[in-house]
Amino acid sequence: MVNNPHFRKPSYHPPGTAPGTYDIARTRATPPGHIEVIEYDAEHYQKLDGLLAVSAEQSLACRWIQIDGPPSLDVLETVRQRYGIDPLVLEDIVNQGQRPKFNDYGDGIFLTLSVPGAEALTAEGIGVYRQISLYLMDTVLITFMEQESRLFDLLEERLKRAGGRLRRQPVHFLAHALIDLAIDTLFPLIDATAERLEELETDIIERPSEDMLLETHTFRSRLLVLRRIAWATRELVNAFRRHAEDVTDGSLRPYLEDAYDHIVSAIDLIEIQRDIATNLVEVYMSVLSNRMNEVIRLLTIIATLFIPPTFLVGLYGMNFDPAAGPFSMPELALPFGYLAVLFVILASMIGMIFFFRRRGWLGRRRS
């Protein structure tokens, strides 16, 4: 696999650390990030900021707590004490780079999602992914975003609209919207990869280079990571679909079926792009092989053209004395012998060139 510095490596605690450890030097040194608390029901919507809003009593049917940026120890302790979150969940939130997954802790479910970073559509950052952590309870959804982002702005606008579907439904519908959002962010990345692979295919056929081969290998590696994320997200959607059947009376089923169809479509596109990237390596090797064959054929034709001249020059370079007898190369004494040899050499070469072209060995025969 081509080494790519943009691939995200998960962070871990040192070996031997107790499970559920989140009180570490990094969280103690991290300042509180941006915190928003949104409460809503079918008729009301309110938005609060700051850590104190997390501890405040819930006044409306649904609550969405957004924590953007690396979480500080104070934030983690506040949400743990307020909502009884298992330390194992907080550990996975602190250790970014988790694969998409679904864990049921009884009082709440924990989900992690991977979304392409803001720089993912650039050539340099196409392998960068960000983690979104969700903790879902009966009426509360807590989201942890690795860094501040405007990814949720559209969902907030939907929540602000009175009478909207999200406002009328349980908070599980908001969790579905976030899952669907994470799935939808994969498609622009897939499309950008497809466009670049098409450009690479044209460039490889016309002017192959080692840089193109390295870029193709890089795309294969990136698609492998994207494939793992998509398959893990598919498992997450399946697990959440089974969980939602018990808490939403089946009303969420059509939307989760739609999300499942989306992730399956994404997987199909990723598999197609992986096949294309693999075929591009074969195309590259085939084009190089064909070009090498062309060079060898041209050199062979050039060497063949000089076989008759070499033979004639070698024959008449033996320096026999024509005066020694009738069989001692008498043609060496002819006044036009030199011109005759040159004519024969030229005629033989022209005849061979004409023969090679007729057989299609020299140049391209046009229909």
What single string gives the DSSP state of each residue in 61-95? SEEEEEEESSPPHHHHHHHHHHH---HHHHHHHHS
Per-residue pLDDT tens digits for 141-193: 999 998 777 888 889 999 988 878 888 899 999 999 999 999 999 998 899 88
pLDDT of 9: 59
Per-residue pLDDT tens digits for 277-326: 999 988 888 888 888 888 888 888 888 888 988 888 888 788 777 777 77
Q: For residues 75-87, b (16+ Cβ closer than 10 Å) or e, as one string?
A: bbebbeeeeebbe
Per-residue pLDDT tens digits for 28-63: 888 878 899 999 998 999 999 988 899 889 999 999
pLDDT of 6: 45
pTM of the predicted model as reported, rounded to 2 decimal places: 0.78
pLDDT of 47: 93
Region 82-89: mean pLDDT is: 92
Region 68-96: mean pLDDT is: 90
Q: How far is Cα of residue 21 from the mean position of the Cα atoms in its chain?
A: 32
User: 110 with 240: CB under 8 angstroms?
Assistant: no
pLDDT above 80: residue 134: yes
Number of helices and strands in the chain (H, E): 12, 7
pLDDT of 218: 85
Residue range 25-287 in CATH 3.40.50.460: no
pLDDT of 8: 54
Region 225-251: mean pLDDT is: 89
Q: What are the E-state strand segments in 307-350? A: none
Locate the domains of the chain by residue range. 25-287, 306-358
Identify the H or E element spanning 47: strand 45-49
pLDDT of 5: 43
What is the C-alpha separation between 145 and 133, in angstroms, rounded?
A: 7
What is the C-alpha separation between 156 and 169, in angstroms, rounded?
A: 15
Region 125-139: mean pLDDT is: 83
What is the C-alpha separation between 277 and 201, in angstroms, rounded?
A: 9
pLDDT above 50: residue 367: no
User: 186 with 226: CB under 8 angstroms?
Assistant: yes
pLDDT of 251: 85
